[in-house]
Structure 1
Amino acid sequence: MGNIISSSNSGSSSSSSSSKPFTNPFQSSKLLSTLRASRTKVHVPVPSGDAASKQPSIFSTLRWPNVSNPNDFIPLYSDCISKACSRTQEYLLFKDPEDKFHPNPEVLTQIFLMTYIGQSINLNMMATFNCTVMTPEQRVLLGADWVWAVLEKPTKNPRIQIAVQVLHTPTREAAAEDYPAEARTESLQMAQRESSNRTVCERMVDFCASIGKDCYALFLFMGRKNDAGGIYGVLSNNFQAAIGKCDKIDRELIENFFKGSRYLHTPTGMLQTITTKRDEEPLTVLIKFS
């Protein structure tokens, strides 16, 4: 697939050879000697009363400035994903001895989302890494089940967006967009007619391309051949390169990305890669979520 969609290397980057190594001033033996000497030879008067309360502590001058890390949400995201995957796998791998329980794709998607959102609220990460669940009409028109967004501070505007579409094993796939008759509102029926000429994968590719290179399409596989309980992903901001070069963009085309792949990112590695890449750079990565 490399001749269809441009890919970049993983998110690791090497430091410039011209940069100077950091030297900790407190490792200098000469400085330590000076500090010891000043401690024994210099008498520092201790202020009393109000003067003492206004005098800054000597240790306050030794602290590093408290600079917030813009990627603090990444380990929190990884924790949320771990719990969501574990919970979903219980249903992916469950075998009913009476063969009566068969969770449909909608149930599996909701289990994943509910577990993820619940944990993200517990970790108070919604202000930096947000999750927006699509309405049924939006899911039909845009092809996305939900959208993750890295938010800028203090505006909370989306800096990076990841539109997620859940793909299931072929045995479940047929029911993926089969809404019950009573749930088919007039607006939903209009959305279905409007999008009938494109596959659900193509709708999401078009949606992400309309936003730009800082919007990624993530196809999340809940189960794959030979790994029914595995949760995988293909993420790219360059799927539109396949439009016109392939008959259609569908599950089969996207799953072909895994053929011959030797490296799969972790969820942590995925976010580190997309938050550190250069603007407008095409990027495609494969992820093992569980």
Structure 2
Amino acid sequence: MGQTETRVGGKPSIFKDLVRIGKPQALDIIPLFSDSVQLASSRTREYLLFQDPENKFFPSTGTLNEIFLMTYITRSVQLQMTNAFNCTAMTKEQKILLGADWVWAVIEAPSKNPKIQVAVQVLHPSDGEDKGADDFPMEVYTEAMEMARMESANRTKAERMIEFCSSIGQDCHALFLFFGRKNDPSNIYGVLSNNFHAAIGRCARIDQTFIENFFKGSKSFVTPARMLQAIIRRKQDEPLTMVIKFT
């Protein structure tokens, strides 16, 4: 991960001002996760709010995803939390087939196996209707990507990630991360559940509109720290659904 200097509105590279700190005395992943996510959310929000006076710069959805993910990864490495809580970015083929952009996981010692997982899919207000597997220009498709696209053609991107989480079990949570909403385009929200699969079969289509309905009637949101705390403390086989505000 090279540190390429990129300036937006006169501001330096998204990684340049990250400060290295020493290894924590006691590894508590909840505040470390909160710190990493807070920095990633804040940095991404700068780009959500940015308005080019010349009306030439419009960060793409892929760029926003990359800003969040790479800022989070850089910070989590600095905090030396990756042995207890890691982040795995999906390949293009995996994004198409599984519907996830990345997966967070609580690591079990000493086996290093994932104990709890959170599969993340980023959504944007400009996306409109679910675009299925066609999130990449056709000219960049490899043979493997095309095979994955054909395999998943009859399911929405949301359905693919829900099925992926369901195949692992209730210890795998689906988190739909909204980089802005129609009535609040400058903030980041999330909807998390380990029980979305219960809607499959009862709902004709699970897409972005279906996920957005979870915000209806929500007057308060939990923090990312409270989200992770609830996931870790969840009793076995207990369903968990919540809405989160990241900024």
Give the TM bin, normalised by the shorter chain. Answer: 0.7 to 0.9
- Please list the CA deviations of residues 175-197 of structure 1 after superposition, one character each: whole Å capped at 9, or x if unmatched: 89432344210000111111010
- Please list the CA deviations of residues 28-52 of structure 1 after superposition, one character each: whole Å capped at 9, or x if unmatched: xxxxxxxxxxxxxxxxxxxxxxxxx
Residue correspondence of structure 1 range 87-236 to structure 2 within 5 A: 87-170=43-126, 177-236=134-193
CA drift at 1:90: 1.1
Contact 1:105 1:172 in 2 (8 A): no
> Secondary structure at the residue paired with 1:160?
strand
**How far, CA to CA, are the matches of 1:190 and 1:78 in structure 2?**
37
- Please list the CA deviations of residues 75-129 of structure 1 after superposition, one character each: whole Å capped at 9, or x if unmatched: 0000001110111011111111222111111111001001000000100000000
- Please list the CA deviations of residues 198-238 of structure 1 after superposition, one character each: whole Å capped at 9, or x if unmatched: 00000000000000000000000000022111100000000
Task: Indicate the structure (1 or 2) with the bigger Cα radius of gyration.
Answer: 1
> Secondary structure at the residue paired with 2:77?
helix
Structure 1 runs of 4+ aligned residues shifted over 3 Å read: 171-178
RMSD of aligned residue pairs (Cα, Å): 1.8
Question: What percent of counterpart residues are identical?
Answer: 60
CA drift at 1:264: 0.8
Contact 2:129 2:207 in 1 (8 A): no
Aligned to 1:249: 206
Unmatched segments (≥5 aa) in structure 2: 1-24
Aligned to 1:12: none
> Secondary structure at the residue paired with 1:217?
strand
Aligned residues: 222
CA drift at 1:174: 7.7
Unmatched segments (≥5 aa) in structure 1: 1-67
> Secondary structure at the residue paired with 1:203?
helix
CA drift at 1:171: 5.3
> Secondary structure at the residue paired with 2:123?
strand
- Please list the CA deviations of residues 227-267 of structure 1 after superposition, one character each: whole Å capped at 9, or x if unmatched: 11110000000001111111110111111111111221100
> Secondary structure at the residue paired with 2:149?
helix
Task: Read off the aligned partner of 1:189 and give its amino acid letter.
Answer: E
Say which structure, 1 or 2, has more relative contact order (CA 8 Å, 6+ apart).
Answer: 1
**How far, CA to CA, are the matches of 1:170 and 1:86 in structure 2?**
20
TM-score by length of 1: 0.73
